[in-house]
Amino acid sequence: MAARAGCIINVFFLAQSNEVNRMATKNVIADLVKGEKLNRDNYDVWHKKMKFMLNEQELEEHLTKEMVAPTEAQPLRDHTAYQKWNQKDRSARYTLLSSLQNDLIGQYDELPTCKALWEQLKFTFGGTSTMRLRSLMIKFEEYTKDPKHTMSEHLRVMSNMIGKLRDVGHTLTDE
């Protein structure tokens, strides 16, 4: 009788733990929906945040891997594995779509997988095109300290611009 009671308690705590995890994931996504979303200027930071978030949700592999749907002739375990993968992929894809500015969602919601969405967003916003590099250089060269900013805020803005230039492969010199 005591063993059965212990088993029931374990099942109860496992169910509670799963519910807490689901609620935590929903809270993270709710915070994301309210927070900074991908726009045309913040891809680098957004990219890092999404990787952190999907890693925390144990979904990061969906950024780089896809699974092919099994054929009718394949064993049931392949279908079950695909269904499980597909459910996680939809969750990862939903997380990414929820983190886009509203005007961008309609341009990307038809992409079938998280990986396809991730790659298209990288192509569109993360490229190191000549135009992007030039835009970053102009922003850096024309930057002046805002009188309302403290010196720490000014240095943080400058450091951020230098980091973006470094991320696209440009090294600043004293010239």
pLDDT tens-digit readout, 7-64:
455 545 545 555 555 555 556 555 555 678 998 778 888 998 999 999 999 999 999 9
Kindly state whether residue 17 falls inside one of the protein's structural domains.
no
Residue among 82, 92, 87, 85 nearest 115 (CA): 92
Is the same domain home to 64 and 49?
A: yes
For residues 113 and 151, state if they share a domain: no
Q: Is residue 5 part of a domain?
A: no
Residue 100 φ/ψ, nearest 5 degrees? -95, 150
Domain-terminating residue out of 112, 127, 142: 127
Q: DSSP 3-state assignment of 104?
A: helix
Name the H helices within the chain: 2-34, 43-56, 76-98, 102-108, 114-125, 130-142, 151-167
Residue 30, domain member (yes or no): no
Residues 160 and 174 in one domain: yes
- Answer for the pair 68, 6: CB distance below 8 angstroms, yes or no: no
Q: Which of 135, 138, 140, 133 is nearest to 161 (CA)?
A: 140
> Are 165 and 144 in a shared domain?
yes
Considering the domain architecture, whether residues 116 and 153 belong to the same structural domain is answered as no
How many Cα atoms sit within 13 Å of 136 on the Cβ side? 29
Any domain includes 49: yes
DSSP single-letter state for residue 69: P
Q: Which domain holds residue 171?
A: 130-175
Which tens digits make up the pLDDT trace of 132-172? 778 888 888 888 888 998 999 888 888 888 887 887 777 77
When mean pLDDT is compared across 41-45, 99-103, 108-112, 114-118, the lowest value belongs to 41-45
